[in-house]
Structure 1
Amino acid sequence: MICPSILSRCRLRAAAAACGTLLLTAGCAVGPEFVPPDSGLQAIEMTPSAELADLAGRAAPSAAAVPADWWTLFNDASLTALQTRAQEANLDLQAAAERIEQSRALLGIASAELLPTVGVGASYAREALSEHGKFAALGAPSTPSDFWQLGFDASWEIDLWGRARRVREGADASLDAARYDREAVRVSLSAEVARTYLQLRGTQAELGIAEQNRAVAERTLGLAESRERNGIATRFETSSARAQLATVKSLVPELTQRRNALMNALALLVGAPPRTLDTQLRHAMPLPALPGEVPVGMPSELARRRPDILRAEAQLHAATADVGAAKADFYPRVGLRGRVGLEAFELGDLDSWDSRFFSVGPTVYLPIFQGGRLTQRQALSEARQKTAALAYRQTVLRAWHEVDNALDAWAAQLRQHDELQIAFTQNSEALRVAERGYQEGASDFLSVLTAQRNLLQSQTALNRSATNATLTLVSLYKSLGGGWS
Structure 2
Amino acid sequence: MTEFPSVSRRLLLGGLASAFALSACSPGAYTAPIAETSQRFASDSPARRAGSNAWWAAFRDKNMDALIAAGLARNLDVQTAIAVIREAEANARLVGANDLPQASLEGAASRGLNSGDVSIAESSSATLGVSWLIDIFGANRAARRGASAQVDAAYLSAEVARLTVASAIASAYIDLRYYQQAVSLTRQSLDSRKRTLALTREQDFLGSVSRVEVLQAEQLVTQAEAALPALELGFDQSVNRLATLTAGRSADLAARLRKGGSQPRASYSASVGIPADVIRVRPDIGVAERNLATAVAAVGEAEAAFYPKLTLSGSVTPIDLAGGGSLKTWGFGPQISVPLFTGGANRARLSAAEARAEQARLAWQGAVLKAVEEVENALAAYNRDGRAVGAQSRLVSNADESVSLARTSYELGEAGFFPVLDAERTLLSARQDLANAVRQRALNFVALSAASAGGVGLAQP
- TM-score calculated relative to the size of structure 2: 0.91
Q: Is the counterpart of residue 72 in structure 1 residue 57 in structure 2?
A: yes
| 1:31 and 1:328 in contact (8 A); partners too | yes
| 2:181 and 2:435 in contact (8 A); partners too | yes
| 1:66 and 1:297 in contact (8 A); partners too | no
Write out per-residue CA displacement over residues 321-372 of structure 1, whole angstroms, 9 at most, x where no aligned residue.
Answer: 000000101111111110112124428434xxxx211011111112222232
Matched residue SS, 1:276: helix
What's the % identity of the aligned pairs?
A: 27
Q: Which residue of 1 aligns with 2:33?
A: 37
Shift of residue 215 of structure 1? 1.1
| 2:41 and 2:273 in contact (8 A); partners too | no
Q: Which residue of 1 aligns with 2:459?
A: none
Q: Is the counterpart of residue 386 in structure 1 residue 358 in structure 2?
A: yes
| 2:42 and 2:376 in contact (8 A); partners too | no
Once the two structures are superposed, the pairs formed by residues 287-436 of structure 1 within 5 Å of their partners are 287-346=263-322, 348-350=324-326, 355-436=327-408
Shift of residue 147 of structure 1? 5.0
Q: How far apart in 2 are the matches of 1:384 and 1:370?
A: 22
1:469–1:197 CA distance, 2 compared to 1 (3 A): same
Once the two structures are superposed, the pairs formed by residues 1-400 of structure 1 within 5 Å of their partners are 27-41=23-37, 43-48=38-43, 62-125=47-110, 148-346=124-322, 348-350=324-326, 355-400=327-372
Write out per-residue CA displacement over residues 197-251 of structure 1, whole angstroms, 9 at most, x where no aligned residue.
Answer: 1111111111110011011101110110000111111221111111110110112
1:347–1:185 CA distance, 2 compared to 1 (3 A): farther
Write out per-residue CA displacement over residues 412-470 of structure 1, whole angstroms, 9 at most, x where no aligned residue.
Answer: 21111122122222221222222122212222222211111111111101110011111
| 1:65 and 1:296 in contact (8 A); partners too | no
Shift of residue 158 of structure 1? 0.8
Matched residue SS, 1:287: coil
Which stretch has the larger CA shift, 19-28 or 387-396? 19-28
| 1:186 and 1:483 in contact (8 A); partners too | no
| 1:336 and 1:362 in contact (8 A); partners too | yes
Shift of residue 307 of structure 1? 0.4
In structure 2, which of residues 445, 449, 452 is the aligned counterpart of residue 480 of structure 1? 452
Q: How far apart in 2 are the matches of 1:366 and 1:456?
A: 83
Write out per-residue CA displacement over residues 272-323 of structure 1, whole angstroms, 9 at most, x where no aligned residue.
Answer: 1332311211111011233133353433311221001111111111100000
Q: How far apart in 2 are the matches of 1:347 and 1:271?
A: 71
Give 5+ residue unaligned stretches, structure 2: 457-461
| 1:100 and 1:175 in contact (8 A); partners too | yes
| 1:66 and 1:296 in contact (8 A); partners too | no
Q: How far apart in 1 are the matches of 2:217 and 2:137?
A: 87
Look up the equivalent residue of 1:101 and give its one-letter code. Answer: R
Look up the equivalent residue of 1:427 and give its one-letter code. Answer: A
Look up the equivalent residue of 1:376 and give its one-letter code. Answer: A
In structure 2, which of residues 416, 421, 432 is the aligned counterpart of residue 449 of structure 1? 421
1:303–1:127 CA distance, 2 compared to 1 (3 A): farther
Shift of residue 264 of structure 1? 1.4
Shift of residue 478 of structure 1? 0.5
Give 5+ residue unaligned stretches, structure 1: 53-59, 132-139
1:332–1:8 CA distance, 2 compared to 1 (3 A): closer
Shift of residue 27 of structure 1? 4.5
Aligned residue pairs, count: 451
Look up the equivalent residue of 1:263 and give its one-letter code. Answer: V
Matched residue SS, 1:93: helix
Shift of residue 127 of structure 1? 8.3
Q: How far apart in 1 are the matches of 2:455 and 2:89?
A: 24
The alignment's C-alpha RMSD in Å is 2.9
Q: How far apart in 1 are the matches of 2:98 and 2:291?
A: 22
| 2:130 and 2:314 in contact (8 A); partners too | yes
Shift of residue 47 of structure 1? 3.4
Which stretch has the larger CA shift, 244-253 or 95-104? 244-253
